[in-house]
Copies of this chain bind each other. A is one copy, B any other.
Amino acid sequence: MAEKQVVSSREKILDVGEARFARRGFAGVGLREVAEAAELSKSTLFHHFTSKAALYCCVLHRVLLRLEESLRPALERSGTPLARLEGVLDALIDVLAEHGATSRLLLRAIFEDDDLPEESLPESDALNATLARILSSMEALIRKGVKEGQFRPISAKHTVQTLIGATVYHFASGDFGAQLLGQPLFSAEAVKARREEVKSLVRFGLTMPESAPAGEPS
C-alpha cells in the first residue's frame, strides 16, 4: 500500500500551507491555523517538517517542481525557438491560471527576500536550484531565437496593467530580481535600459488596435 489515506497528511499540510502562505504570506500565517485547516494537531506539523520556515520552503519547492513539470514538454518539443517559447508561455499561463496560489507564491518568493530567516535551510537550497534550472532553460530558449512576428491586439486596460505590472515588478524585485538580471536593479545602466524597454513596450502596445477580435463581444 503506497498511500496510507486518500491523501497523505504531508500532502494535505502542503496543500493548506500553499493556500494560506499565498494569501497572507509567511509572517501572516500561524501554524495553528494551518493545523486546524489540515485537520491535524499542530504537533503533527513538527513531525513532518522541522520548522515553519522548512514548511514554507517545501511548499515553494513543490510549486516550482510542478511548474517545471508543466513546462518540460513544451521545452523539449521540437520546432523553432519561437514556437517552443510560445508553448512554454502557454504552459506557464495554464498552470498559473489553474493554480491561483502559485503565482502569488512565486511573486512573494521573488520579491520578499526578508520573509525567511537569514540562515539557509537545506530545503531552501534545493528550492533555489530548481528555480535556477527553470530560469536558465527559458533564457537559453529566448537567447537562441531572434525572429520577427506579427502583432496581436491589446486593450488599453491590458496595456496599462502590463506596463504598471512589469515596471512595478521590476523595481520591486529587490536582490532576487537583480540576481535574475545579473546586474543591480537600481544602477544607472539598469534604470536607463528599463526606461528604453518600457518606452518600446509603450510604442508597441499603442500600435495595437484597441478592440479585441478574439472573442469577448461585451
Task: Verify if A79 is at the interface (C-beta below 8 Å from B).
Answer: no
Docked CA distance A155–B200 (Å): 12
- Given A171-B97, A193-B216, the answer on whether A115 and B165 have CB atoms closer than 8 Å is no
Docked CA distance A173–B100 (Å): 10
Interface string of A182-196 (1 = CB under 8 A from B): 100010010111111
Interface string of A132-164 (1 = CB under 8 A from B): 000100110011011111111111111111111
Q: Chain B residues near A100 (CB, 8 Å)?
A: 171, 174, 186
Q: Chain B residues near A153 (CB, 8 Å)?
A: 196, 200
Query: In the complex, which residue of chain B has the Cβ closest to the Cβ of A96?
Result: B171
Task: Verify if A203 is at the interface (C-beta below 8 Å from B).
Answer: yes
Count class of interface residues, chain A: 35 or more
Interface string of A90-101 (1 = CB under 8 A from B): 101100110010
CB contact between A207 and one of B97, B107, B147, B210 (< 8 Å): that residue: B147
Report the minimum CB–CB distance from A28 to chain B (whole Å). Answer: 4
Binding site for B on A (CB under 8 A): 23-28, 82, 85-86, 89-90, 92-93, 96-97, 100, 102-104, 106-107, 110-112, 114-115, 135, 138-139, 142-143, 145-174, 177, 180-182, 186, 189, 191-210, 212, 214-216
| A86-B199, A145-B206 given; 16 more Cβ-contact pairs under 8 Å | A28-B28, A89-B167, A100-B171, A103-B170, A103-B171, A106-B172, A135-B160, A147-B207, A149-B200, A152-B197, A153-B200, A154-B196, A161-B170, A161-B181, A165-B165, A193-B214
